């Protein structure tokens, strides 16, 4: 089995020289067939016969960004900033051919922002809808 798992550490604490170093994996062949791997300390050249006898250092635990816990997810917008764009404005007019502002009658994008923003929810409550 090759040294292909990138999540594992390639660092060792060499028992021969006593230093922390990177290990190099070398294939071991018998009659032109690969039968295993030997690991070599890059600091002193000491050879370890197999993975079990190599003194690998423990891999540091990496932080997980993608968790199922909603508290752990990063928040980019606060609650009031989240819906403060043209898409959620009362004056945003969407047709099959264009997106326009109902006040200025200019072409706009759904992610645009302006100072005349009026929330759709607030305006629905005023008109009684």
The confidence score (pLDDT) of residue 117 equals 85
Confidence (pTM): 0.43
- What is d(CA 51, CA 10) in angstroms, rounded to the nearest whole number? 11
The confidence score (pLDDT) of residue 68 equals 62
DSSP-assigned letters across all residues of 72-92: TS---S-HHHHT-SGGGBTTE
Which one-letter DSSP state was computed for residue 88?
G
Cα 89 from chain centroid (whole Å)? 32
Per domain, the residue ranges of the chain are: 11-48, 80-124
Give pLDDT tens digits for 21-68.
Answer: 999 999 999 999 999 999 999 999 999 998 899 998 887 776 666 666
- Domain covering 80-124, topology: Ubiquitin Ligase Nedd4; Chain: W; (2.20.70)
Give pLDDT tens digits for 66-114.
Answer: 666 666 566 666 666 656 788 888 999 998 999 999 998 999 998 888 8
Phi and psi angles of residue 4, each rounded to the nearest 5 degrees, phi first: -110, -10
Residue 54 neighbours by CB under 8 Å, 6+ apart = 12, 23, 39, 48
């Amino acid at each position: 089995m090759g040294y292909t798992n990138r999540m594992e550490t390639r660092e060792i604490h060499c028992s021969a020289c006593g230093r922390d170093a990177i290990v190099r994996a070398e294939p071991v062949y018998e009659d032109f067939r690969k039968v295993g791997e030997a690991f070599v300390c890059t600091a002193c050249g000491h050879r370890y016969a197999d993975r079990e006898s190599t003194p690998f250092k423990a891999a540091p635990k990496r932080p997980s960004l993608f968790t199922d816990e909603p508290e752990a997810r990063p928040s980019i917008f606060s609650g009031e900033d989240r819906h403060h764009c043209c898409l959620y404005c009362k004056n945003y007019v969407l047709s099959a051919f264009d997106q326009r502002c109902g006040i200025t009658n200019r072409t706009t994008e759904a992610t645009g922002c302006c100072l005349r923003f009026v929330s759709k929810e607030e305006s629905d409550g005023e008109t009684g809808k």
